Every structure is written in structure tokens, then in C-alpha cells.
Amino acid sequence: MRILVTGGAGYIGSMLVPALLGAGHQVTVLDTFAAGDAFLAQCCADPNFETVRGDTRDMRVVEPLLAAADVVIPLAALVGAPLCARDQIGATTLNRDAVVDITKRLSNGQRVIYPTTNSGYGVGDANAFCTEESPLRPVSLYGTTKVEAEKAVLDSGRGITLRLATVFGMAPRMRLDLLVNDFTWRAVHDKAVVLFEAHFRRNFIHVRDVVKAFLHALDNYEAMRGEPFNVGLSEANLSKLQLCERIARQVPGFMYLEAPVGEDPDKRDYIVSNEKLERTGWRPDHGLDAGIRELIKGYRMLRNGRFSNV
């Protein structure tokens, strides 16, 4: 298939695009490539790979690319509550408006696979699992914009939405601000972390299993079309405190303390059922403990001191 991936040079895209090419698809990546980093350099020798520098919000750029595509995967977004709070206009125009505009321009036969977030569940009910039928109650601008974009995709009748758990794992375009990645970084380099509202719970998923979910959706489009699917590790519905306990098993000397005052600006707290996607035949390949081991190895190579003196 001819696949257009917006924001394809990001954390997920740097893993997904090579996998799509490996499966025999033709892939065009639309990205601003703002940092000038060559995270997709290994793809450039593939004749089925093309790059376009541009902004997903500019429909003059998007329309000719969309006209040539069988499938659209809109990855371009401002991801996370802190970033969206800092740039509210950018979050609204990129996370919601650009996806709505793309959806409106889809023609018969075109498909969209949209990665949203299970942040939309906001605060869950006690120990009840959030399913795809649970009410969406986002507690941040990030969650709100993604929920609204998801509605546009599902209302179009041409899409599948993947409600991603908090992603972790190594990738060419690394992100250190995601919870597992962040806490493991602190364990390896700082040997300590202070937890705010340590009882807040999340679900987690390895970036390679996110890629597997996209490929699965492509292969099972007709059976999954028009539906949302939670994508996470059923074994990993954990509080921040429990996550630290898992990391400490592999990082001797890692200390974690719950702050007696203060609060987490991200108020999400829920556990998630991934049974609906699992019933379609998808299963994750990478557990949390294996992902932590992977990160520890990766962090021996990485240095996050680009702007520090030491």
C-alpha cells in the first residue's frame, strides 16, 4: 500500500516507518524535521521511501500527498500534557484541527489508522478497568484534543483508532520524558526519584508493540474498521510506586521517595483493559521488565547533557 505518515520522524515514527517498508509498503513521511536529525537515515536507500519537509497543518502540502495515499497514519502531534499546556494554540491546531482536516479530505477507499491516547479516560473508577465503552473524561488539553480528533476519525467510517498506553523502550528518536523511560533514566543516572501522588496508575506498552499494533490494524482493517482499541500491556497496570519497585529490581541502589507535599500536574489515574484488541489476535511481545533491561543498556550509550557544562 501507499502510506502517508505525518510526523514520521518522531519517537514512534522512527520505529514504525522502517517496519512499514520492511512489510513491502511505499511510505511517504511528512515532517518538519525541525531538529535536523536524521532518525530515518537508514530508510533513504529504500526506493519505496520518500520524505517531504512541511507542516501537517498546511493543507496545500497535505492535499497532493493525501491524493496519492491508500492509508494515512497521522502521527504528527504535540504529545503530553506539559507540552500542550505550554503551547495551547499549537496543540489545538496540530493535535485536533489537522486530523479533522485530513479526515474531511478522505475519499472512498482511503483508510486512516489514528494513534490516540488512553489519557482520554482521565480518572478511572476505583479498580474498574477502562474499556473502549468507558466514558472519556480527559483532564488535560492534550487528552481533550486527541479525544476530539479520534471522534472525527471514527465518525468518518474509514478509520481505526489505537488508544495507546504510555509508551516505553528505545528508539532512534528517543524520548526521555515518558514515565518508564524517565524513571529508568533517573534510576541509572541519578539513583533517586521523588514521586508526587505515587498511587496514580497508568498502563504501559513497548514502542515495538505499538508498531506491531499498526501492522495488525493494516492487516485486519475490514474487521477492525470504525472501532477504537486500547493498546497496552495487560500485565502492566501499575502505580508510579509499583513501577519504581520493578525498576529497583534491576538497578541496585535506586532510591524512590514519595513527597509529603506537592502534586502531579498530570492527574490521570486509571487501569485499562486491552482485551478487545487481544481478541482480534494481537499480542504484545515485549514485557515491562525486558523493556527496563533494554533501557538500562541504552542509557549507557545516551547522554542527555547537550546544554549542560558537565
pLDDT tens figures, 17-71: 999 999 999 999 999 998 788 899 999 999 999 999 999 999 999 999 999 999 9
Q: At 176, is the pLDDT very low, low, confident or very high (cuts 50, 70, 90)?
A: very high
pLDDT tens figures, 187-204: 999 999 999 989 999 999
Residue 115 lies in a domain: yes
Residue 100 lies in a domain: yes
Show the domain range for 82.
2-169+204-233
- 69 contacts: CB under 8 Å, gap ≥ 6: 2, 3, 4, 28, 110
Q: Read off the C-alpha cell for 99.
A: 486530523
Residue 19 lies in a domain: yes
Task: Report the domain count for the chain.
Answer: 1
Residue 258 lies in a domain: no
Residue 254 lies in a domain: no
Residue 278 lies in a domain: no
Q: Considering the entire predicted model, what is its pTM? A: 0.95
The pLDDT value recorded for residue 78 is 94
The CB-based long-range contact list for 60-66 (8 Å cut-off, 24+ gap) reads: 61/30, 62/6, 62/30, 62/98, 62/101, 62/102, 62/105, 63/105, 65/4, 65/28, 65/30, 66/4, 66/102, 66/105, 66/106, 66/110
Domain containing 60 — which CATH number? 3.40.50.720
Residue 285 lies in a domain: no
The pLDDT value recorded for residue 89 is 97
pLDDT tens figures, 270-281: 999 999 999 999
Q: Read off the C-alpha cell for 12.
A: 514512534
Burial profile 210-220: b = 16 or more Cβ within 10 angstroms, e = fewer: bbbbbbbbbee
